[in-house]
Structure 1
Amino acid sequence: MRRVSKVVKGGRNLTFNAMVVVGDGNGNVGAALGAAGAVPDAVRKGTTYAKKAMTKIELNGPTIPHEITSKFSGAKVLLKPAAPGTGVIAGGGVRAVMEAVGVKDVLSKTFGSSNTINIVKATLAALDQLRDPVAAVERRKGVKASSAPKDEAAS
């Protein structure tokens, strides 16, 4: 929630911005900024926009498939997969996004700007870059990992 004051001839005009994160807990997440003259209206607008901006995130069970770093404006976010039972070790904006996505175990660290809006956007950018390592190898080599020829020396 952010309060914005615009100085005009007749005084100050107050508006409110609300960064809203929505998710289904199964890898779908959306985030958006709603702005209005009243807090409930800003939250409602943000929720509507966030639902329209939903994207699918590739997860590896209760955690993320690999370590990732992403930057948005001055905010930098580092996300690391964690062992089962670790929980979501994250602050503010990163925690909200992770819980909305449905990630149960992850470690995170933010660097640079502490602007929550930029941290949320950097987190979403990092999640968009996640790829399943096995599927990535299959796409790159053009074969299925399960049907790949076995090394004769290994057997």
Structure 2
Amino acid sequence: MAMRRDRRSQPRHQERSEFDRKLLDVRRVARVVAGGRRFSFRATVVIGNRRGKVGVGVAKGQDVSIAQEKAVARARKGIILVPITKDGSIAHEVRAKYAAARVILRPRPVGSGIIAGGAVRAVVELAGITNCSGKIVSRTPNKLTNAMATLEALAELTKGRAVRSPAAARPDETPTQTTPPPAGEPASA
């Protein structure tokens, strides 16, 4: 009997995800059916690799752990890339709105750390930003909408970088545009 191995003493081998996760909010929600109320749980999760990838997911399940796993799966589907400066900050101030939540993110100098609270701090930390200030301007205490507004703000940073074209970077060079000849005249070669 001494040779028999106990399953509890063996370490579990779970694959390590590249993303860190933070459970922002768990709520018990109810749906009314003929026999009364059915309760389930809604989980809000933020995931990120602390190197520029971050996502927020929301899901419901009969148990908290089921809701949490489903939320992580949904967050993986909605991951965005965040441009981070050499200083570990953001390039410029950005404002965003999602539902009733309004958020402002501002760059800070090296050594400032993250000056933000609640859901904004969680999203910014997991994105990998180390020097930034964030402010929830709205009065909503809803962690889900505040996290989504922060994600929208970080997505605005990404859009701003992607929109710039080489022509926009050099205003002295104007692109030449050829116009077709009028309908009655032959084209000259």
Q: TM-score normalized by structure 1?
A: 0.84
1:141 equivalent among 162, 168, 171? 168
Distance 1:36 1:137, change over 3 A: closer
Letter aligned with residue 29 of structure 1: V
Q: Give the unaligned 5+ runs of structure 1.
A: 149-155
Aligned partner of residue 79 in structure 1, secondary structure: strand
Q: How does 1:106-121 map to 2 (within 5 A)?
A: 106-112=132-138, 113-121=140-148
1:99 aligns with 2:99: no
CA distance change for structure 1 residues 116 and 29 in 2, over 3 Å: closer, same or farther?
same
Correspondence list, 1:1-16, <5 A: 1-16=26-41
Instruction: Name the larger-Rg structure.
Output: 2
Q: Which residue type is aligned with residue 150 of structure 2?
A: T
Percent of pairs with identical residues: 35
RCO comparison, higher one (Cα < 8 Å, 6+): 1
How far is 1:128 from its partner? 0.5
Please show how residues 6-155 of structure 1 align to structure 2 within 5 Å: 6-61=31-86, 62-112=88-138, 113-131=140-158, 139-143=166-170
Letter in 1 for 2:151: L
Pair 1:99–1:134, CA change in 2 (3 A): closer
Distance in 1 (CA, whole Å) between partners of 2:51 and 2:70 is 23
Question: How far did 1:133 drift?
Answer: 7.7
Which runs of no fewer than 5 residues in structure 2 stay unpaired? 1-25, 173-189
Task: Looking at secondary structure, tell me which structure has more helix per residue.
Answer: 1
Q: Which runs of 4+ in 1 moved over 3 A?
A: 131-140
Equivalent residues, number: 144
Report the Cα distance in structure 1 between the residues aligned to 2:158 and 2:134, rounded to whole angstroms: 18
TM-score (norm 2): 0.70
- Residues of 1 paired with 2:131 and 2:115: CA distance? 8
